[in-house]
Structure 1
């Protein structure tokens, strides 16, 4: 993980005898950003952070200002584990075993859990639900299309963090007794639908929206061949309409992992040539990007226009906006 800026804590300043009186003026002038009560960060550093990095700082701010160490869960647990999610201004999520009410306040959403169901690990010195429980809790709380993103991710090894792949059996074994009957059905359906072949969070979210919209299930990572041999692997393929679907994430044009020594401009040209080769085999090609996934009905309209078959009548209501929390 890239290094995050240092948090400025009023209690630390007080402990060292430094004055905290300049802090409100610094916030007003724009040189500091107040993350939560008693926690600040330099505005210049804050402005350069991605959304998930800002969210990670909010998690750390909650940890620094809590009397009892929180157990982070759901989207917050996922960020700590490096598991991608779809986020839309999420609060910080943590567990509580207290039944007295008032569990959500100060930007923290607390989820009630029975003490016997706690399954906790430590990541970077912070308490967090286990990887298994983190993705299951998300599947119980969010729509199917969003639940698929973290589930697809954990079915593959996380080489960057030296974490092994989880198995569908492991996930399903942890479901019983943890949720209501309705939530358990949602979780089991999401786990069964998850697929390690999805190449990115965007592909996972796309696949979830494709399913929700009622389209026939595509073949993933389809090998496109011509009379002369291999052409490309396509993200999605529908044999019934001879259509290839391609999700265009920003990473393939910016990330060194995907560029492999090329410039961004070269990557754009190479991707265009790749599409020409696919079309030359007689296949249709439909492309979409994150902004299409954020617009209700946009992906559905693109696929319908290309003649992608449906298994049933779809609904545009589930295609909601979102960003990955990676």
Structure 2
């Protein structure tokens, strides 16, 4: 595959611009490879190697959208990207499908749409940052733009990721709750501010992954008591602290949302086995300190009812009215 592209001007981001190919006399070669299915048009005038069947799923969808935004940036130099497009450039996740359109700031308060480009109107100045030379709105502004248009679940996942800073974190968060709420107040009133406020009042630095964000939303939807996030336990046999995703300390209940990524990313079979053994030892020590311990995964949370059964069996009480918040 790579030998077919050796004489083409491939950008560092893996994209091939027709303008670059024309400059080296390879314009028609790009079109021939496109017709043969080797290249896919990502954006008008921009191509990339066609994906294989294995390159599917949520991560691939996010990568595909990011590639599309980067392709648009090549063709619209100087534009400031925002909303979903800025979120993709910042590495923020969502749940659900990424949009087809790319989002850029309009030149004034009136928004519009032309083809696959959405121009977002704005009354006030939008703070900017740059990623690989691409202009985009700053994290707080970006999160608010996503939250005002996305589902509650997608907005919360993005906001939690931007704020992420659990007690054991070594990296600084992308932004703080104070900065996010301050930006919300600076921009008010704005269209969709109530939707954004619903995200911001639930966002937390303590959700260590999208599954924890979704799980928290489902727990609220079902009316269960709000858990304490990242509750700390001392594990004497291991000689270290452990943080549990969800805990109801007064009830002696500890539960974890397990996306299985920590096992899949462990590398070799030996390393993965060591990770499983260590996790088992960790869990045994936590179980010795609580009345009930349980786990759930993406499927449990996504289908809602399996998570509900696990919370009921653990003895988590319902202290809030049920209401529809999460729509898978």
Give TM-score, length-normalised by structure 1: 0.78
Q: How far apart are the structure 2 equivalents of 1:81 and 1:291?
A: 27
Give the whole-Å Cα distance in 2 for the aligned partners of 1:162 and 1:306. Answer: 34
Corresponding residue number in structure 1 for 2:160: 152
CA contact (8 A) 1:203 1:235 kept: yes
**Which residue number in structure 2 is paired with residue 242 of structure 1?**
252
Q: Which residue of 1 aligns with 2:293?
A: 285
> Which of the numbers 274, 278, 290 marks the counterpart of 1:270?
278
How many corresponding residue pairs?
311
Please, what TM-score do these two structures have when normalized by structure 2?
0.78
Partner of 1:215: 224
Q: Distance in 2 between matches of 1:70 and 1:155?
A: 26
Say if 1:4 and 1:252 are closer, same or farther in 2 by CA, change over 3 A.
farther
User: In the alignment, which of 309, 317, 321 is matched to residue 309 of structure 1?
Assistant: 317
Q: Secondary structure at the match of 2:136?
A: strand
Partner in structure 2 of residue 83 of structure 1: 92
Other-structure match for 2:62: 52
Deviations 1:44-89 (A, max 9, x none): 68965833322211111111223x6332112221221223333413
Unaligned runs of 5+ residues in structure 2 are 1-10
**C-alpha distance in structure 1 between counterparts of 2:140 and 2:160, whole Å:** 12
Which is worse superposed, 162-171 or 122-131? 162-171
Pairing partner for 2:21 from 13, 18, 21: 13
Once residues 98 and 185 of structure 2 are traced to their aligned partners in structure 1, the CA distance between those partners, rounded to angstroms, is 30
In the alignment, structure 1 residue 251 sits paired with structure 2 residue 261: yes
SS at match of 1:193: coil
Over residues 168-196 of structure 1, what are the superposed CA-to-partner deviations in whole Å (9 max), with x where a residue is unaligned? 33222222352546733443443343222
Q: Deviations over 1:291-320 (max 9, x none)?
A: 3333354433432343322222324x4333
Alignment of 1:40-119 (within 5 A): 40-43=47-50, 50-66=60-76, 69-91=78-100, 92-97=102-107, 102-103=112-113, 105-106=115-116, 108-114=117-123, 116-119=124-127
Q: Give the 3 Å change call, closer, same or farther, for CA 129–165 of structure 1 in structure 2.
A: closer
Residue among 194, 199, 206 paired with 2:203 = 194
Kindly tell me: are residues 176 and 319 of structure 1, through their superposed partners in 2, closer, same or farther at Cα, counting changes over 3 Å? closer
Q: Is the 8 A contact 1:156 1:164 kept in 2?
A: yes
SS at match of 1:209: helix
* SS across alignment from 1:70: coil
Tell me: higher relative CO, structure 1 or 2? Use CA pairs within 8 A at least 6 residues apart: 1
Match of 2:133 among 116, 122, 125: 125
CA distance 1:157–1:15, shift in 2 (3 Å): farther
Using the TM superposition, give the Cα deviation of residue 130 of structure 1 relative to its aligned residue in structure 2, in angstroms: 0.8
Match of 2:178 among 134, 148, 169: 169
How much is the aligned-residue C-alpha RMSD, in angstroms? 3.7
